[in-house]
Amino acid sequence: MRLFFDLTKSGIVVFVLVTGMAGYAMSQPLTADWNWVHFLTTMAALYFLSSGSFAINQAQEVHIDRGMPRTQGRPLPSKRVSEPQAWILGVGFVLIGAIAAILVNQTVFWLGIGTVFLYNVTYTLWWKRHWSFGAVPGAIPGATPVLIGYAAHQPFIAMPEPIYLFLLMFLWQMPHFWSLAIRFKEDYSLGGIPVLPVRIGTERTVFHMALYAFAYVATAAAAPFFTSAGWAYGLLTLPFAFVVIWQFLKFHRSVVEKHEKSRWLPFFLWTNFSILVFLAAPVVDRWARHAFLMYQVGVGE
């Protein structure tokens, strides 16, 4: 089971499912009953599409992983899984995920297939290998799971709320990934991956991280303008927004003092924790206000 979890990157898959749940809960009609079959089918689509995509990715990058100390212990470089096995599992899971997605609706299906294509073809084979800013367009497939969850109820996603959720996920990924790239800059260099710290240096990378980190926090604070979130949202999110900026400033100072590896982890962890809070807060706010309204109606009767 550990080998399977490593091959399909189960830790990231869990995160994909959580973001998909947030989108699903935001689009669920408050007056409709919760349909468990519909919900589980949507989650199955996300699970199999993402797990299969990650298994394919490992088959595509086995030669790169062999050259990076951080990834040499993965299933394929360590020869515990063969490339054909990874391809069979990956393609099989993607097909199962596509079937589950079409059972939900056509929008979920096309978003899911489009995500796999963007991640395994355009990002893995081109953006990541040839462009130091590849993480920017590469953040698109990373942000679509929340749209897939939202589209399960609302196939028309060209609305402020799903666009906001997508933008929040999109902006979060650059400071998240580039802090990791700074920590493992030597590994990426050995693997021949032209990540931003390798190409332009750590200090200039931190400047770009600042642009996205502040845009990310500002977007989170603007949720009441784009979603149904109310005043309670601010109480839940503002402290975390403050901590993210505070941790970034401390990380920036460590870079200036040439001690960036000692401060990357707190910023990395707080950024990851904050996205979970920023996604969960409008969901909690929405459903809590609905429950309170139903309580008032019940008391009135």
Same structural domain, 162 and 151: no
Residue 5 predicted with pLDDT over 60 = yes
Of residues 300 and 120, more confidently modeled:
120
For range 50-78, the mean pLDDT: 94
pLDDT band at 221 (very low <50, low <70, confident <90, very high): confident
pLDDT band at 301 (very low <50, low <70, confident <90, very high): low
- Total structural domains in the chain? 2
Q: What is the pLDDT of residue 288?
A: 74
Task: Quote the domain boundaries for residue 144.
Answer: 1-156
pLDDT in tens, 163-219: 999 999 999 999 999 999 999 999 999 889 999 999 999 889 999 999 999 999 999
Same structural domain, 151 and 212: no
Backbone angles phi, psi at 200, to 5 degrees: -120, 0
Q: Give the domain-ending residue among 134, 156, 178.
A: 156
Same structural domain, 148 and 162: no
CB–CB of 254/208 below 8 Å? no
- Residue among 245, 243, 223, 242 at smallest CA distance from 232: 223
Look-up: residue for tokens 């990540």?
195
With b for 16 or more beta-carbon neighbours within 10 A and e for fewer, the 129-138 pattern comes to: eebbebbbbb
- Residue among 267, 277, 74 at smallest CA distance from 180: 267
Same structural domain, 134 and 257: no
Give, in order, the Cα–Cα distances in Å from 161 to each of 22, 139, 150. Answer: 12, 19, 9
For range 122-133, the mean pLDDT: 94
Look-up: residue for tokens 């959580």?
18
Give the DSSP per-residue string, 41-94.
HHHHHHHHHHHHHHHHHHHHTHHHHHT-TTTTTSTTTTTSS-HHHHHHHHHHHH
For range 64-74, the mean pLDDT: 91
Same structural domain, 150 and 1: yes
Element (H, E) at 132: none
Same structural domain, 178 and 282: yes
Residue 259 predicted with pLDDT over 70 = no
Q: Give the domain-ending residue among 106, 121, 156.
A: 156
Q: Give the domain-ending residue among 136, 156, 176.
A: 156
75: CATH: 1.10.357.140
Burial of 69 (0-12, 13-18, 19+ CB in 10 A): exposed
pLDDT band at 228 (very low <50, low <70, confident <90, very high): confident
- Residue 5: helix, strand or coil by DSSP? helix
Same structural domain, 66 and 213: no
Q: What percent of the chain has pLDDT over 90?
A: 72
Same structural domain, 176 and 121: no
- Residue 23: helix, strand or coil by DSSP? helix
* pTM check: above 0.95: no
Look-up: residue for tokens 């590469």?
138
Same structural domain, 150 and 194: no
CA-angle at 123, arms to 198 and 61, nearest 5°: 75
- Residue 136: helix, strand or coil by DSSP? helix
- Residue among 184, 177, 208 at smallest CA distance from 198: 184
Q: Centre a 10 Å sphere on the Cβ of residue 14 and count the other Cβ atoms it contains.
A: 13
The structure tokens listed for 173 are 């990924």
pLDDT in tens, 14-30: 999 999 999 999 999 88
- Average pLDDT across the chain, whole number: 91
